[in-house]
Structure formats: structure tokens, C-alpha cells
Amino acid sequence: MSDHYDVIVVGVGGMGSAATYHLADRGLDVLGLERYDVPHDRGSSHGSTRIIRRTQYEDPAYVPLVDSAYERWRDLEEQTGRDLLSVTGGIDAGPPGSRIVTGSQAACEAHGIDHERLSAAAVNDRFPGYDLPEGHCAVYQPDAGFLDPSACVVAGVEAAHEAGATIRAREPVHEYATFDGGSTDADGGVRVTTSKDTYEADRLVVTAGAWVPDLIPDLAGVAVPERQVLAWLHPTRPAAFDPDSFPVFVHATGDGHYYGTPRYDVPGFKLGKFHHREEVVDPDGFGREPRPADEDLLRAYAERCFPEGAGPTMRLSTCLFTNTPDGHFILDRLPDDPRVTVGAGFSGHGFKFASVVGEILADLAIDGETDHDVDRFRADRFA
């Protein structure tokens, strides 16, 4: 039996690395357990870019959270000396009545966010890499940009180490169990069994991404893994797709909702389609190798809306979304055992919040509450 910890965190990706850091920074004895490498490319927190934007078309209530996330990312940059967040501006585009356009504008107006409403022609003229369809429009917001997710995970782990945390990679968690009876905060603790050892702690935080239902079966129907594929295409006019001239984008079209970022790290601009081909998968047993149909779907969109970006394919990569039925997160203590806190179901738009989600999970695990508004993320809302 290993030493007893104050808190064990299961899953040290984007959310788990931040939670481990925030817990350790409060002087707690923290163990982080990761089934793969740190960082790794098997889940949802890898690659070279993830969009961050203040225009929260999903719900204006996300804006205070993303504002806090911006601050925490900048703090982590200062602490570790790493470059994590690049500002490019952002385009939220689609037909005038689309959810992306109306929701983004509503969020900006509700929170006084600096923005412009642009026609498709104005977007295409200002940003030569774009060729949005006639009749579409956009909300432009200058603070948007992208995070480097692998660097963010590394920075979070470095900060956690500096604060005294212990992190073990390549050590899958098989199960956990509470002990000593009762379900109140004062009773017992949590025993975690891994492929290598058994550990005990007063509290457990589960941030295991697509593998959360393996540990918490009650979430099997509400945290659902989905296969996602991204493409990087080499532009015929590369300078038009550089970070200083190409804003990140989300774009509603007749066949779905696409998103993309400028050239960075890979010699091509990145694009994807939300929910891609709607493939619910087993995270341990699905086709990770991209297929021709995946490339064809993304290339067809690039040829329509970014024709000068639709050059040779540089990379295809598979990752995972973990979707909830309503598209919102789960950030809560388990209703039947407050010793266990879970962060899950980030539904393809969560990484930008990781820096503040880590703080929220630490608050919930230790204090049972947080100053951030997380009522919409209760675990029991699907009961």
C-alpha cells in the first residue's frame, strides 16, 4: 500500500493537469495518474491548436468562465515561461439566422464584448484566405485565437510538479472504491487500484475524458465518446493562412458546423467538422487511422470556403469528443458520494476552459462549492 494522499486525480490531460496543479498549489498532497504518456495523443488534449474565443454562441453564460480561463492561461504562461495562447482574432460565420451568428452576437451584447458584424464579402476582403459564400455573415472578435494544447498540458504538469504534486504516467486505473462507510465528507476515503499499485486518498477527482464511464458507470449514457478527424492542408498562398492574417473560425453551413485555425507547427492550415461523421465509439477499440472518406469530407469543405487553402494534405489526425446529451459539461461532486468529483463531457468545446476548470474541480473537491457559476453543469441533471 502506497502513502495516503489528500487527493488523487485520474487522467492528466488538459483538465486533469490543471486540477492537479490547482490542488497542489493549495498545499495539498496530490497524486495524478495517467493511463498513457504525459502528454499523449489518444484522447482530447493533444495536437498543436485548440480555439479559444470570447464569443460563446453555445450560451452567453459561458463568457465569465472563458474570461477567467484567459486570465489563468496568461498566469500559467508567466509561471512556466511557455507560450500557450496566440491571439489571431476570430470569425463566427454562417447564414444570418444561424445559431453561430445569432448566439455569438448575443453573447457579445450581453457581456459588452468588442465585436464587429461583417458580411461575407467584407470578411473575404479583409482576410484573403477566406471565401465565405455570398449571403453569409460573420461576427468578428479580435481577442480570439488558439491554444497549443500539448504545451498547455506540459505547462500544467510542470506547475503541478513545482507545487509538489506526484504524477505517474502509463499507469491505468482499473477501479476505485470508497471505504469506511458513510457518504459524508467526514467519513473514510477512496482507494484507487491501478495496473501497478493501490493508493488511498481523502478525495478523488476523475478527469479521464472518454474513459470516465469506465470508472463511473452511471455516466455511460451521458458522457459518450465520438470519433473526430482533423485535416491540415497546405495552402497555395501560405502567407494568407499565417496567424497574423488568418483568424480562427467556426462556420455554420448547410451540411454542418466547421472550424479551423491558421498554420502553426504543421505546414498546413487546420480544419475539422463538429461531430465529423457522428461515429459513437469505444475509446479502446475504434479505428484511429483516418480513412479516405474522412479526408474527402474535409477537403470538400475547404475547396468551397477556403479554396487557396485546399492544397496537398499534410496531416490527418484522429481524436475524441466526449458528448453529453445537452452539449454542456459535467462539473460536480457525485450525488451519491461527495468524496468523488468529476469533470467530463466537454463535448468538443471544452479545452479552452481547462485552466479555469482545474480551479473549479479543486474548489469542488475540497470545499464542495466554487465562486464560479456551475449550476448548469450538475451531474444529476440527466437523472
Alpha carbon distance 158, 244 (integer Å): 29
Listed in sequence order, the residues at least 6 apart from 299 whose beta carbon sits closer than 8 Å to its beta carbon are 231, 233, 310, 313
Measured CA distances, 281 to 14, 60, 216, 346, 365 (Å): 21, 31, 17, 16, 30
State the catalytic residues: 46, 49-50, 270, 275, 319, 352
Alpha carbon distance 190, 308 (integer Å): 55
Per-residue three-class SS string for the chain: CCCEEEEEEECCCHHHHHHHHHHHHCCCCEEEECCCCCCCCCCCCCCCCEEECCCCCCCHHHHHHHHHHHHHHHHHHHHHCCCCEEECCEEEEECCCCHHHHHHHHHHHHHCCCCEEEEHHHHHHHCCCCCCCCCCEEEEECCCEEECHHHHHHHHHHHHHHCCCEEECCCCEEEEEEECCCCCCCCCEEEEEECCCEEEEEEEEECCHHHHHHHCHHHCCCCEEEEEEEEEECCCCHHHHCCCCCCEEEEEECCEEEEEECCECECCEEEEECCCCCEECCCCCCCCCCCHHHHHHHHHHHHHHCHHHCCCEEEEEEEEEEECCCCCCEEEEECCEEEEEEEECCCCCCHHHHHHHHHHHHHHHHHCCCCCCCHHHCHHHHC
Alpha carbon distance 316, 318 (integer Å): 7
